[in-house]
Structure 1
Amino acid sequence: MGQLFDSKLRLRHLQCLVAVASHRSVQKAADALSQTPSAVSKSVSELEEMVGTRLFSRRRAGLQLTAEGETLLASATRAFGALHEGFLALDQGSSLAKQVNIGVLPTAAAFLLPSAILSMQAEFPHLVVNVHSGLNSELLQRLRARELDLVLGRLPDPAEMYRVSFETLYTEPMILAVRPNHPLLSTAPDPSQVARYPLVLPLTGTTIRQAAEAFFISSGVAVPRPQINTLTEAVGYELVRRSDAVWFVPLGVVKSDLDEGDIMQVQIDTSVTRSAVGLSFLTDAPSHRLIELFADRLRELAASMRDN
């Protein structure tokens, strides 16, 4: 990696990083930023040179952040939030900026949240959006502490529902994903055959990990070993692409890869893992117009996903 801070770093480098990550396309990012594609590509290349590693990998579905790119994007998002808040404080003569604090699970962030943020900031240019990721239980704890305004994630366990209401946006199953030409694709497999291959699972303690384990238990199969546990999409994708590993992953995370044929779905019934993805609110929180508008935007986008 590059040095801790490069004096050549400019705001345009981070703007291009965020735009390309959101649109997964240099052309679309250039249109959003009113720049030329060559200018956007140059800024991304310069940023990669500064940090000393690739930030994007090219896939059929578009440009995909690498693990390093996801780390830098999270920091860039926080930096932009702080800058927006500072400018608003100067403009309004107050330290209080209009902002929304959202908690999101990594597996629920692929489409809905970036699209909602871009849509809201197009309508409210001075809106500050602070995005916090983590496990469902951690995010709900922060929601109850009023550190977050809402959480985009999966249906909580009943024990975690104290002072929390949940609204379903859509439901999705987990699937078993493998590389093209994987041996499991040439047969009519059953869950016991998955045990022959390395398994990529969600982290222990997560809702989707529990769903994965419930699938194997209901199939009368012990959870296979060896296994790799991760919530990072880039890691799961590369493990599958480079080996015979089987990735137990929510459908929405890899849908574009499935559509493009970069990843294939093993034809084993995993409908038992279907679960709700939605919004969690604090039941005793005061009404906030910006939060309501943001939630409405997420509902609209989720409805378009269901329609398609």
Structure 2
Amino acid sequence: MLRTLDPRLRLRHLQCLVALASHRSVLKAADALAQTPSAVSKSLAELEAITGETLALRHRKGLELTPAGHILLRHAAQAIGALRDGFELLGTGEKAPEHVRIGILPTAAATLVPNAIRQMQARYSHLVVTAHGGTNADLLVRLKLRELDLVIGRISHPSEMVGISFEHLYMEPLVMAVRPGHPLLDAPALQPADVRAYPMVLPMKGTYIRPAAETFLQSSGIGMPQQLVETLSSTMARSLMRTGDAIWFVPYGVIELDLDDGLARTLPVDTSPTSAAVGLTTLGTGELPEGARLFIDVMREVASEMRNRNRRSLMQEG
């Protein structure tokens, strides 16, 4: 039976569904929408009554959309995105600058993306980049909701890549970064026990690179350090490394500028087994906006330039 658009449907119903899918919690969705939790629950109940479907289920770990909820979500996100684009074009009557909405993981934030933005601005002055940071999982959710055009960084876990496309740009390892003058840099023959004796800064559990770091530490005989700091903050990790003897186990792209400026060194440890692909993640369906396609072309050029330079730098540091 063909369904018609129910006149009871309001924009707040669609906004509610998108917020619940993004935050997986009535409380967090209410906070994001500046509404009360009861108002969010009411909007969800009304939307379920309008559609005649159960759209979300509550579990211990949070709220999860049903298959029907995911179907409606895809179209709700598209509708809200189309309205947002329309409002951006209103105003002066002149063509508004085209926005490229990107999600950036830390490994791409220091060098790759800034270099691409500089080159893009030199060629396409009408493009405006809106950059969002976050964890891999958070950015992929926003990509699926069409709040982002693409995500740039390390490839995610295969379970999170369903329905999206990844374009490989280059391989990147984790490295063990320390301050210049660190005692381990003068060690005649670095032993696993020597590394384990110093504080180490690792990405938090739940991030995609944490298992890669732990697997390497165990397989290399280093094991988990006696003193450990877990953080997603590059600012804090960099401070711990620079002002003490902490070892920062970090993607090369995050520490690259510090290495170039002589503010950090890498320990002579072969960390190549931790290498993973860095690239562009898109929905892989439909046509990307022109601005996003132009930006991706520039990204490919910049990544090509970076490959050989990164390889030479790693050889020199090693």
Name the TM tier (shorter chain): 0.5 to 0.7
| Aligned alpha-carbon RMSD (Å) | 2.2
Partner of 1:107: 107
Residue 241 of structure 1 is matched in structure 2 by 242
Query: Residues 9-55 of structure 1, C-alpha deviation per residue, up to 9 Å, x if partnerless?
Result: xxxxxxxxxxxxxxxxxxxxxxxxxxxxxxxxxxxxxxxxxxxxxxx
Q: Distance in 1 between matches of 2:291 and 2:224?
A: 44
Instruction: Note if contact 2:180-2:262 (Cα within 8 Å) is conserved in structure 1.
Output: yes
Q: How do 1:121-270 and structure 2 match up within 5 A? A: 121-187=121-187, 188-270=189-271
Q: Is the 8 A contact 1:88 1:126 kept in 2?
A: no
Q: Secondary structure of 2:92's match?
A: helix
TM-score by length of structure 1 reads 0.66
Alpha-carbon distance in structure 1 between the residues aligned to 2:171 and 2:293: 22
Instruction: Determine the C-alpha separation between the residues in 1 that align with 2:153 and 2:257.
Output: 20
Distance in 1, Cα, partners of 2:295 & 2:250: 27
CA contact (8 A) 1:164 1:283 kept: yes
Answer with 129-138 or 190-199: which moved more.
190-199
Give the distance between the partners of 1:149 and 1:294, measured in 2 at CA.
Answer: 10
Runs of 4+ with >4 A deviation:
85-88
1:143–1:239 distance in 2 versus 1, CA, 3 Å: same
Specify the SS of the correspondent of 1:223. coil
Alpha-carbon spacing, 1:154–1:228, altered in 2? closer, same or farther (3 Å): same
Any idea what SS the aligned residue of 2:263 has?
coil
1:301 paired to 2:277: no
Q: Distance in 2 between matches of 1:186 and 1:117?
A: 39
The 5 A counterparts of 1:77-96 are 89-92=90-93
**% identical equivalent positions:** 48
Contact 1:170 1:276 survives alignment (8 Å): yes
Unaligned 5+ residue runs, structure 2?
Answer: 1-85, 310-318
Q: Distance in 1 between matches of 2:180 and 2:115?
A: 30
Contact in 2 for aligned 1:89/1:97 (Cα 8 Å): no
Mapped partners of 1:290, 1:93: distance in 2? 17
Partner letter of residue 262 of structure 1? Answer: L
For residues 258 and 117 of structure 1, the distance between their equivalents in structure 2, rounded to whole angstroms, comes to 22
Separation (CA, whole Å) in 1 of partners of 2:279 and 2:191? 31
Question: 1:249, 1:123 → 2: CA distance?
Answer: 33
Q: 1:283-305 CA deviation, whole Å, 9 max, x = no partner?
A: 22333222111101011001111
Q: In structure 2, how many angstroms separate the alpha carbons of the residues matched to 1:199 and 1:166?
A: 31
Question: Could you tell me how far apart the structure 2 residues matched to 1:241 and 1:146 are?
Answer: 39
Distance 2:140 2:240 in 1: 31
Q: Structure 1 residues 212, 290: closer, same or farther in 2, change over 3 A?
A: same
Deviations 1:61-85 (A, max 9, x none): xxxxxxxxxxxxxxxxxxxxxxxx9
| Paired amino acid for 1:146 | R
2: CA distance, partners of 1:86 / 1:307: 44
- Cα offsets for 1:216-240 (capped at 9, x unmatched): 1212443223212223333222211
Q: Distance in 1 between matches of 2:121 and 2:223?
A: 47
Q: Deviations over 1:242-300 (max 9, x none)?
A: 11111111122222322343212111111111111100010223332221111010110
Q: Provide Cα deviations, 1:74-119, integer angstroms capped at 9, x if missing partner.
A: xxxxxxxxxxx9986433368x762111011022111121222233
Which residue of structure 1 aligns with residue 63 of structure 2?
none
Q: After superposing the two structures, state which structure 1 stretch, 241-250 or 219-228, moved more.
A: 219-228
Structure 1 portions without partners, runs of 5+: 1-84
Relative to structure 2, which stretch is displaced further, 260-269 or 166-175? 260-269
CA distance in structure 1 between the aligned counterparts of 2:292 and 2:241, rounded to whole angstroms: 38
Query: How much has 1:200 moved relative to structure 2?
Result: 0.9
AA of the residue aligned to 2:207: T
